[in-house]
Amino acid sequence: MKKVDLSFQSCKSEYKDSDVVIFSAPLDLTTSFRPGTRFAGNHIRIDSVGIEWYSPYQDKSLKDYNTCDIGDLEMPLGDLEGALDVIYKTTKKIIEDKKTPLMIGGEHLVTYPAVKALIEEYKNLHIIHLDAHTDLRDEFLGMKLSHATVLRRLYDLGAKIYSFGIRSGDKHEFEWAKEHIYLRKFDLETLDEKVNLLKDKPVYITIDLDVLDPGVFPGTGTPEPGGIQFKELLQALELFRNLNNIVGADIVELNPLLDSSGASTMAAIKALRELILLLHK
């Protein structure tokens, strides 16, 4: 007679026994169009019974690894800085305990405090970033910390950025990108080269799921037509197996309020399973 356990799929290990720790960050405060990503974590959890624990892509099974799911972080809802601090401290603690963090957003801004914690440990941190949007504004609607500025803030932290699939942004963002980061427009080409380059570097992977075409992933606040297919995302995930030092990862921007069929939630679930298996080297 044990308390209900709604951990992601078969990731039911205790924290102390785990190598990978899943948490969700229910934040969508700076969302400019349709909010709701705060509900992603728990919808992913309860629908994760709909997927197998075995991946035929990696020939690995969730059952063979120790993963803990600590659930939604408790965050002061209206207090942006307070909320980001909770994510920062959680990530910090996980790293200190020699475990790998895997975060479910929330809006994309959640990546900022996670990377902030990681870069203190890994000075030479590289970011592989899949997204529809540049997220490179210096400020957005008067705010320095926003889903639309998050990659710029990661750059400010000293991370090296490699963006792929980008098809939306303001003109000056694309121009700024040319001089400061690597940015691949529209698709994932050259990802193989860059993965090869980063083979032994510490790498953080952040996947804004709206990099997928809205046909595949309608359940997101700001769908941007013309994206990649799920098979292309799977190929990217396969490429990541060549990275020897992935120090953390996240998937962000699933909005369950906009996913009446549940298919977008399942896309997030499958991406998450593959990421978990990737993180368990």
- Please identify which residue in 19, 66, 80, 245 interacts with its own copies, judged by CB under 8 A: 80
> Taking each helix axis from N to C terminus, what angle separates 230-239 and 263-279, rounded to the nearest 10 degrees?
10
Q: How far apart are the C-alpha atoms of 8 and 51, rounded to whole Å?
A: 10
Nearer CB in complex with its own copies: 123/231 = 231
Instruction: Output 108 or 126, the one with its CB closest to its own copies.
Output: 108
Q: Which of 43, 92, 152, 153 binds its own copies (CB under 8 A)?
A: 43
Find the binder of its own copies among 25, 27, 39, 248 (CB under 8 A): 39
Distance CA 242, CA 196 (A): 7
Q: Which of 170, 192, 193, 238 binds its own copies (CB under 8 A)?
A: 170
3 binds its own copies, rule: CB under 8 A: yes
- The residue count for binding its own copies (CB under 8 A) is 91
* Max CA separation in the chain (angstroms): 59
Q: Does 260 bind its own copies (CB under 8 A)?
A: yes
Name which position in 121, 155, 201, 216 contacts its own copies (CB under 8 A): 216
Length of the chain: 281
182 binds its own copies (CB under 8 A): no
Q: Does 261 bind its own copies (CB under 8 A)?
A: yes
Backbone angles phi, psi at 53, to 5 degrees: -80, -15
Residue 186 CB: number of other CB atoms within 10 A? 13
Q: How far is the CB of 2 from its own copies (least distance, A)?
A: 7
Q: What is the CA radius of gyration of the chain?
A: 17
Q: Does 131 bind its own copies (CB under 8 A)?
A: no
14 binds its own copies (CB under 8 A): yes
Binding flag, residue 155, its own copies (CB under 8 A):
no
CA 9, distance to chain mean position in Å, is: 18
Euclidean distance between CA atoms 62 and 48, whole angstroms? 12
